[in-house]
Structure formats: C-alpha cells, structure tokens
C-alpha cells in the first residue's frame, strides 16, 4: 500500500485561504479585528519573493488567486459585522468565528451552486438542494430548523455527524475523478470595461492573454496590472473547456511547478502524463474495475464507451483490444455524457457519495451548525447566502449589476437567466 505525504486537507475548513499549519495560518493574519491580509487593489498581498500570502500558494494562477482574494474579503466583512455586534470579541474570537462562517459559505456555494451548474438538470438541482435543505425546502427549514431528519430537513444541522464507521477523509477515487484541468483555457480573453461600452450580452474583447503569462509569480504581477474587476468580468464571460479527450490545456503539458514554499522547480512537468502516473502509482483501479467497484456495468468493447470513431481508433492504438487496461482518467474523458452533465456518469457516482459525506460527517455542518458556534448573525450570514453571485454582489455590486445577466456566476455571465418555472421542482418530468 502506498503512502503519500500531503500538505493539504480534505475538510471544508477553508484552508486554501487560511493555511494548513500554524506558520501558514499566522502568515495570512493581520492580528487585528480577526482580519486577513489583503492588498489595497483587492488582490492577494505578496511577500518579498513575489509569492502570494494565502493558504495555498503552490501552482497558483491569477484566476485561482482572485477567488482566494474574494473570500478573504468575505472573511474580513464577516469580521466587521461581528465586531459591530459583539464589541467584546477579541481578535482570536473574531478570526475563528469568521473562519467558520466563511468556510460554511464556501461549502454551501459548492453544494447548491457550483455542483448544480456542473450537473445542469432539474433532478440534480433538486438533489443538491435536498442535501442542504431537505425535501421540505429552504423556507420550512429557515422557519422551524432541522427537526425532521436528513430526508425532510437535509444533512446540514443533524444532531450528530454520521461517518458510517469510517473517519472522514477524501478518497483517492474522489481525487481521481476531480481531475478537471480540461476546464481551463489556453488563453484568457480580456473584456473592455470602459463605462461607455457596458454590454452584458456581448462585452467587447480588449485582447487575449496567454495562460502562461498568468501563472506563478509573474502571473501575479500580470494579474495586478490587469486588476481584480477586469479579471473577474473577463473570466465570467468566457466559457470553460469541455471535459473530453484532446482538450487538455497545452500550457499544462510543460508546466513550471512550484514546491511547498511557492518557489519554482527547475524541471518542467507534463500534468496530463502526471495524472495518469499518479493514479497508477497510488493503486487507483483502471476504468472498468473502477466501475465494477461502484456496482456499475463495465464496458465489454470500446463502442460501449463512446460513439466517437476517432476516439475508438486512438484507444485501440494505445490499449489494443484489452479494455481492462484503460486508465481511469482517459475513460472518464472519453465516456458519453448524460445530457446536461459536464462530467461523466462514472465520476458522478463518486460525486454523489462524497457530496453527502462532506456534509454529514463534519460536525461544523451537523452538531455545531448552530448559533452557539457561529453566533446568531454568523448563522444568518450563511443561511442568507445561496450562490457565488451573492458573494460577488456583496463586495462588487456594480459588477453584478452591469456585467452579469445569468442566474449563477458559474454560468457564462452573458447567458440568459434561468427561466421561471411555476411547477414545483419535485413534480417536473425528466427531459
């Protein structure tokens, strides 16, 4: 059995912002009013080496750093709210409470916003909202609380965590199906944000920037020159890549990786090859065995996997006719997709299991999801935040008003908002 040293956690503790150890956590704090460090331009501060001051500093790019900065602003806003209502709270109390609130907001956005956009169907929308609110829905839960168990009231607010006899952790299988680098582009299309050129439907293109210019230390400098608002609006108006074969970002095939201190390593890496190697090294089952372990039907020929003749020809060239040799990551990208799904059905099975487990096995979403732990106002902050759009609107209302048409910030911002459907979600027929 392989042993792997990790510096990051699978818990939803916001460590990507706050750090994973004492030194990292101290590095990001101001030690006044519970707040975290943020630069005057709204982006992450950087040390004398040019390394970002944040919880996770390895292999960063401007888009990732931007989201870190957004939730630093969220944390600091929670601190300001708490200080106003609880003037007796010291720096440590403000920091710890704001961290709980912000981490819960991130988890909620991930559950009922990001995942719903990734699996864009009424069925999955209902399922993810049931995970958080239960069959009775948000209005009932907000009114009377989580009184009726996980089915009717959702997993959040359970009296006790449920780990099913296994201490909570993220499995290697989950790590494997979450390899989604194909979502990233090779270039970022910057939009013109001149006041006289505001057009939610079709913002004018200013120029394109290679992703190689937006990674690492130099990428941090470039991001600062572009600015938070233009970066955010530009990313919002650019669709992500498809999780399919032959769509891996070229810049990640010769990537300058960083060590745990954020310093560049001397040798380039091919991330696509490394992902295959890691699965093999760690004993993650090949595609067919993986499906069998999930009690899913295995494939018996390449045509069971995909209708794409070019893909089948390439698979035969690499693996011959031995379908049992098919690597998991290759199979996930080749697999026919369910309508509305950005990911494969095989990956979805793992998502389904872990999405529930990440809530029900965490005491901060069960036993301690209460006013005593979060404060009354902190819990209200979490309960009234539904989407990433809510978070952006809290800090940059002009951006959402001027540049975002869509319902979710994870959609392309120029897309139409979701239509109003009067038939209750649970009563709608499947497409």
* Catalytic annotation, residues: 178
Dihedral pair phi/psi, residue 257, rounded to 5°: -90, 160
Q: Are 395 and 74 in contact (CB under 8 A)?
A: yes
Burial track 374-411 (b if 16+ CB lie within 10 A, e otherwise): bbebbbebbeebbbbbbbbbebbeebbeebbebbbbbb
Q: Are 219 and 60 in contact (CB under 8 A)?
A: yes
**Rounded to whole angstroms, how far apart are CA atoms 350 and 353?**
5
Q: Which two tokens stand for residue 74?
A: 């969220």
181 labeled binding residue:
yes
HSE-CB of 288 using CA atoms within 13 angstroms: 12
Q: Are 122 and 143 in contact (CB under 8 A)?
A: no
DSSP letter assigned to residue 419: P
**Rounded to whole angstroms, how far apart are CA atoms 306 and 331?**
9
Binding site listing for heme b: 181
């Amino acid at each position: 059995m392989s042993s792997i040293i990790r510096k990051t956690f699978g818990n939803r503790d916001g460590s990507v912002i706050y750090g994973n150890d004492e030194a990292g956590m101290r590095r990001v704090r101001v030690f006044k009013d519970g707040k975290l460090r943020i630069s005057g331009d709204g982006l992450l501060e950087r040390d004398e080496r040019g390394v970002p001051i944040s919880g996770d500093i390895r292999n960063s790019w401007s888009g990732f750093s931007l989201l870190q900065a957004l939730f630093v602003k969220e944390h600091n806003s929670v601190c300001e709210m708490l200080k106003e209502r609880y003037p007796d709270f010291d720096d440590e109390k403000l920091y710890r409470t704001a961290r709980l609130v912000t981490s819960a907001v991130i988890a909620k956005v991930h559950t009922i916003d990001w995942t719903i956009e990734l699996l864009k169907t009424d069925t999955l929308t209902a399922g993810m909202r049931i995970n958080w609110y239960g069959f009775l829905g948000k209005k009932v839960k907000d009114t009377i609380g989580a009184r009726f168990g996980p089915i009717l009231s959702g997993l959040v607010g359970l009296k006790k965590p449920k780990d099913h006899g296994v201490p909570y952790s993220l499995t290697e299988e989950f790590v494997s199906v979450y390899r989604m680098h194909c979502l990233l582009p090779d270039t970022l299309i910057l939009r013109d944000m001149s006041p006289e050129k505001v057009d939610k439907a079709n913002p004018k293109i200013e120029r394109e920037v290679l992703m190689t210019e937006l990674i690492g230390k130099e990428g941090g400098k470039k991001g600062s020159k572009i600015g938070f608002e233009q970066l955010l609006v530009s990313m919002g108006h650019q669709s992500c890549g498809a999780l399919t074969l032959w769509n891996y970002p070229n810049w990640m095939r010769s990537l300058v990786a960083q060590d745990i201190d954020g310093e560049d390593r001397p040798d380039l890496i091919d991330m696509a090859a490394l992902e295959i190697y890691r699965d093999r090294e760690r004993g993650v089952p090949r595609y067919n065995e993986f499906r069998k372990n999930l009690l899913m039907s295995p494939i018996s020929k390449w045509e069971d996997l995909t209708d794409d003749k070019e893909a089948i020809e390439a698979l035969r060239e690499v693996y011959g006719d031995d379908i049992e040799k098919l690597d998991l990551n290759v199979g996930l990208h080749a697999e026919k997709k369910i309508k509305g799904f950005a990911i494969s059905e095989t990956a979805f099975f793992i998502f389904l299991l872990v999405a529930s487990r990440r809530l029900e096995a965490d005491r901060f979403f069960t036993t301690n999801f209460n006013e005593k732990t979060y404060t009354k106002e902190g819990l209200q902050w979490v309960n009234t935040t539904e989407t990433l759009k809510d978070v952006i609107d809290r800090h940059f209302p002009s951006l959402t008003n001027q540049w975002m048409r869509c319902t979710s910030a994870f959609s392309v911002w120029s897309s139409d908002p979701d239509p109003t459907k009067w038939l209750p979600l649970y009563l709608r027929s499947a497409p």
